[in-house]
Amino acid sequence: MKVNMMHGAGGEVMGELLQTLTKFRHNNAGGIGLEAMDDGAVIPFNGENLVFTTDSHVVRPIFFPGGDIGRISVCGTINDLAMMGGKPVALSCGMIIEEGFEIDDLARIVASMDEALGEAGANLVTGDTKVMERGALDGIAINTAGIGVAKTIVRDNGLVCGDVIIVSGTLGDHGLAIMAHREGFDLGEQIKSDVSPLWGLVEKVLDAGTVHAMKDPTRGGFASAINEMARKSGVCVRVQEEKIPIRKNVRSAAGMLGIDPLEVANEGKVVMGVPATCVDAVLEALHSHKYGKDAAVVGTVTKGAHVIMETAIGGERFIEPPMGDPVPRVC
Ligand code: MG
């Protein structure tokens, strides 16, 4: 069997590849390791919880509405740290660049990375650059890794019955921004990526109340993230369709492209499960932050398995874990 594009699309098919890529016997440094397949690892060190994660980026186009490959490569790592409860401290950056790449574009990418770092209060402290000959690579690929420190560790598997599921804003923005841009759609108001560093938002939430589980709905979107959270927690999640915030232009583009907005990547959103007693405090914290203005309660956690959508017309259906994100090279 050979690797194909679906192996990188973040869904069930990528899981097959990960069965090979996660076969390390040396996979845990004493806290939460690779075996957990969470957003990052946790390494206890001198009484602190170090959080460690890495993320590579090959998004096309490299400059897209609302962001670029630089912003996304910083936000991807910062957000995975944040999902574990980690305050981002330091990042590394490995760039692989194709011969012929414009230096001016590199400068734009670096400036954009720096802006995102500033917003998250983190620093890029080490890096590496390789250049490959023309044709060996499509322009540029960027890997970042990051370390953070967590006061409270939050997992993706901590949902319990009675929890309320909250999303921090509209779903599908990033994936549909990329797709609509590639297709040259003119939908009046342009769809913009939501790519944003989320530590400030997450910090507010953790100060305001208890969070039982968190995950960022990146590749495979909300459908993938909520299924993973439900499966790992051993619970059922019931979602109310009419409560899910989706922008009108995202819904239109998704309809035209035959794409489910719940299956495409978000790069500035959190899905969280919180105890019912904390819902008001958490929502207030979210709404008070610029990246949480459209936060909404979308469902509840019950006994059982699967993710069930209560549809707007009164029916029920499963939200299945997608085979893969329908938008290739989305991050
Ligand atoms: Mg993640």
Per-residue pLDDT tens digits for 113-144: 999 999 999 999 999 999 999 999 999 999 99
pLDDT at residue 185, as a whole number: 83
User: What's the pTM?
Assistant: 0.96
* Nearest by Cα to 51 from 120, 151, 119, 197: 151
* pLDDT over threshold 80, residue 23: yes
- CA dist 175 and 171 (Å) reads 9
Tell me, in angstroms, the distance from the centre of ligand 1 to residue 278's CA.
23
> What are the backbone dihedrals phi and psi of residue 114, each rounded to the nearest 5 degrees, phi first?
-65, -40
Distance 315 CA to ligand 1 centre (A): 31
Cα 118 to middle of ligand 1, angstroms? 21
CATH 3.30.1330.10 range(s) for the chain read: 5-150
Where are the domain boundaries for CATH 3.90.650.10 in the chain? Answer: 164-318
The per-residue pLDDT for range 259-318, each reduced to its tens digit, is: 999 999 999 999 999 999 999 999 999 999 999 999 999 999 999 999 999 999 999 999
**How close is the Cα of 181 to the center of ligand 1, in Å?**
24
Backbone angles phi, psi at 152, to 5 degrees: -120, 120
Question: Is the pLDDT score of 148 beyond 90?
Answer: yes
| Cα 225 to ligand 1 centre (Å) | 9
Q: Are strands 236-240 and 307-310 parallel, antiparallel or unpaired?
A: parallel
**Whether pLDDT at 188 is above 80:** no
Instruction: Give me ligand 1 centre to Cα 140, in Å.
Output: 22
DSSP single-letter state for residue 32? B
Mean pLDDT along residues 164-182: 97
Q: Could you identify the residue written with the tokens 């990528």?
A: 14
Give the fold, CATH level 3, of 164-318: Phosphoribosyl-aminoimidazole Synthetase; Chain A, domain 2 (3.90.650)
Question: What CATH topology corresponds to 5-150?
Answer: 60s Ribosomal Protein L30; Chain: A; (3.30.1330)
Tell me the pLDDT band of 204, cut-offs 50, 70 and 90: very high
Taking the centre of ligand 1 as the mean of its atom positions, its distance from the CA of residue 201, in whole angstroms, is: 16
Q: Residue range 199-204: average pLDDT?
A: 98
Å from CA of 79 to ligand 1 middle: 7
Distance 37 CA to ligand 1 centre (A): 10
Q: Report the alpha-carbon distance of residue 269 to residue 201 in Å, rounded.
A: 10
Residue whose C-alpha is closest to residue 83's, from 116, 51, 117? 51
304: CA distance to ligand 1 center in Å?
Answer: 24
Q: Specify whether the CB–CB gap between 232 and 32 falls below 8 A.
A: no
What is the distance in A from the centroid of ligand 1 to the CA of 128? Answer: 23
* CA of residue 216 to ligand 1 center, whole Å: 5
Mean pLDDT, the chain, rounded, equals: 96
Residue 152 has what pLDDT?
94
How far out from the chain centre does Cα 303 lie? 26
Q: Structure tokens of 304? A: 């059982």
